[in-house]
Amino acid sequence: MQLHQLKTFVRVVESGSLTRAAMQLALTQPAVTKQLAVLEQELECKLLWRRGRRLHLTPAGELLYGYARRITALVDQAADAVATLERPGHGTVRLGAVSMVSTTVLPRVLAYFGRHYPAVQVHVESGEVQDSVDRVLAHEVDLAVVTVPIVHPRLVSLPLAEDRVVLVAAPAIAAHWPKPLPLARLADLGFISYQTPSRFRSFVDGMLERQGVLLRVKMEFNSHEGVRSMVRLGLGAAFMPHSVVEEDLRAGTLAVIPVEQLAPMTRVTSLILPVDGHGHPALTALLDSFATVFPLAAEALPAWVRR
């Protein structure tokens, strides 16, 4: 197997088309087809099959794709690391992030980092928690910021900051309810909630169920913005991360409803790194920026970062 064949295979899978992959790689379609044919001949198996206009992976193709993603990502990282050594203060860092922290946690860190290391490029890949975990495991990103601690034998999870979960409503709605609201009356509120199976929805539902509370959900959305917009319109209440509604609370467009005897709900924003990663100056500089902006425990960093 040759590296260029693996890169072509990955591009075909991710673009879903031989034609699009050829355009992205600046190759002809026959050249792409030939590379795939040679790869299948060397492996003595089919990697792709076609149904209509769509390409699908065979079981062997699924297996190879996982390896090929990691191999090509590691090669790119190796090139970046060598280039960084040759050009101090330059380089590239690939950062994964859950969508929420892309607009709350990251701006603070990247603003500091950009002031001190203006020549380093940071590529941010946003997605759900599992997307970020998968990218770190596949070495497609150097590190990732997620909204929950991650327990995995191949990852190190470092706490950055606590994010309280608060019950919010439009001020006019909140004014109608007693403060604090008796826990038993939570079921009387109509709730705007997150779609299942989001991790945040599971976290909140699990905490409430332990206290014998079942919410009456009126609407569900798959984003913080969707939930927040409906709550601001006065269509219901919602449990939301404080970091998401902080500006609304300051502006008075949302109000917190304290709940009597409700156990505190707090999520820990965490930084995840591979146990077996490879440090380079640009990455170390970004980690230093995280440590400056947030209470990152330096002694918890894996050995490869400290080298």
Handedness of CA 134, 20, 79, 284 (dihedral sign): negative
Q: Looking at the structure, do residues 202 and 118 belong to the same domain, yes or no?
A: no
Q: Looking at the structure, do residues 224 and 133 belong to the same domain, yes or no?
A: no
pLDDT tens figures, 237-270: 999 999 889 999 999 999 999 999 999 999 888 9
Looking at this protein, which amino acid is placed at residue 96? G
Q: Looking at the structure, do residues 216 and 259 belong to the same domain, yes or no?
A: yes
Separation CA 286–CA 298 (nearest Å): 13
Domain that holds residue 109: 75-160+269-306
Q: Looking at the structure, do residues 102 and 225 belong to the same domain, yes or no?
A: no
User: Domain tally for the chain?
Assistant: 3
Q: Looking at the structure, do residues 175 and 251 belong to the same domain, yes or no?
A: yes
CATH label of the domain that carries residue 104: 3.40.190.10
CB 273 within 8 A of CB 302: yes
Q: Looking at the structure, do residues 143 and 292 belong to the same domain, yes or no?
A: yes
Residue where one domain finishes, among candidates 22, 49, 66: 66
Q: Looking at the structure, do residues 262 and 204 belong to the same domain, yes or no?
A: yes
Better pLDDT: 82 or 115 = 115
Q: By mean pLDDT, which of 5-14, 71-80, 126-135 is the weakest?
A: 71-80
Q: Looking at the structure, do residues 240 and 93 belong to the same domain, yes or no?
A: no
Separation CA 9–CA 272 (nearest Å): 28
Q: Looking at the structure, do residues 152 and 227 belong to the same domain, yes or no?
A: no
Position 84 confidence tier, pLDDT thresholds 50, 70, 90: low
Position 228 confidence tier, pLDDT thresholds 50, 70, 90: very high
Beta carbons within 10 angstroms of residue 156's beta carbon? 20
CATH label of the domain that carries residue 197: 3.40.190.290
Position 95 confidence tier, pLDDT thresholds 50, 70, 90: very high
Separation CA 166–CA 9 (nearest Å): 46
Q: Looking at the structure, do residues 86 and 176 belong to the same domain, yes or no?
A: no
- Residues sharing a CB contact under 8 Å with residue 298, sequence separation 6 or more, in sequence order: 291
pLDDT tens figures, 135-166: 898 888 999 999 888 889 999 888 888 889 99
Q: Looking at the structure, do residues 118 and 260 belong to the same domain, yes or no?
A: no
For position 89, what pLDDT does the model report? Answer: 63
Q: Looking at the structure, do residues 90 and 232 belong to the same domain, yes or no?
A: no
